[in-house]
């Protein structure tokens, strides 16, 4: 399994869409966390985006998960950046491949 850092970028005018779909998005992230696929997630303090840390077999599996995000279905995400990440120190270090 690989750890991936995923950054979401939100348009400034997407707050209404995000607010409407946030309960479904949070239910989705909570379920992925229970399953062990999502290690951590949360919005940036300035509201311009979010950081999500996933564990997935590969980038194709990760992309399949991301397509299921209610924020994606609602058009709340204007951009993403996905990077394989190897945490070596701290709470997430045991998850690195």
31: in domain:
yes
Give the tens place of pLDDT for each residue, 13-34: 899 999 999 999 999 999 999 9
Q: CA 79, 89, 44: angle at the middle one, nearest 5?
A: 30
Q: Calculate what percentage of the chain has a pLDDT beyond 90.
A: 88
Nearest to 71 by CA among 31, 4, 14: 14
Q: CA 91, 83, 66: angle at the middle one, nearest 5?
A: 90
33: in domain:
yes
Residue 60 has pLDDT above 90, yes or no: yes
71: in domain:
yes
Q: Contact at 8 Å (CB) between 7 and 50? A: yes
CATH code, domain with 51: 3.30.70.1060
Residue 52 has pLDDT above 90, yes or no: yes
Q: Which residues form the domain of 34?
A: 2-87
45: in domain:
yes
97: in domain:
no
CA distance 97 to 78: 30
Q: What is the number of domains present in the chain?
A: 1
46: in domain:
yes
Task: Name the pLDDT band for 96 (thresholds 50, 70, 90).
Answer: confident
Residue 1 has pLDDT above 90, yes or no: no
pLDDT reported for residue 12: 85
pLDDT reported for residue 4: 98
């Amino acid at each position: 399994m690989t750890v991936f850092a995923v950054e979401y970028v939100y348009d400034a005018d997407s707050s209404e869409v995000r607010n409407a779909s946030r309960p479904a998005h949070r239910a989705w992230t909570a379920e992925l966390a229970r399953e062990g696929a999502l290690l951590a997630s949360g919005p940036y303090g300035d509201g311009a985006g979010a950081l999500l840390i996933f564990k997935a077999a590969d980038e194709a599996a990760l992309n399949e998960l991301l397509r299921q995000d209610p924020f994606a279905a609602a058009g709340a995400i204007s951009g993403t950046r996905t990077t394989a990440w190897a945490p070596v120190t701290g709470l997430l270090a045991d998850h690195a491949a």
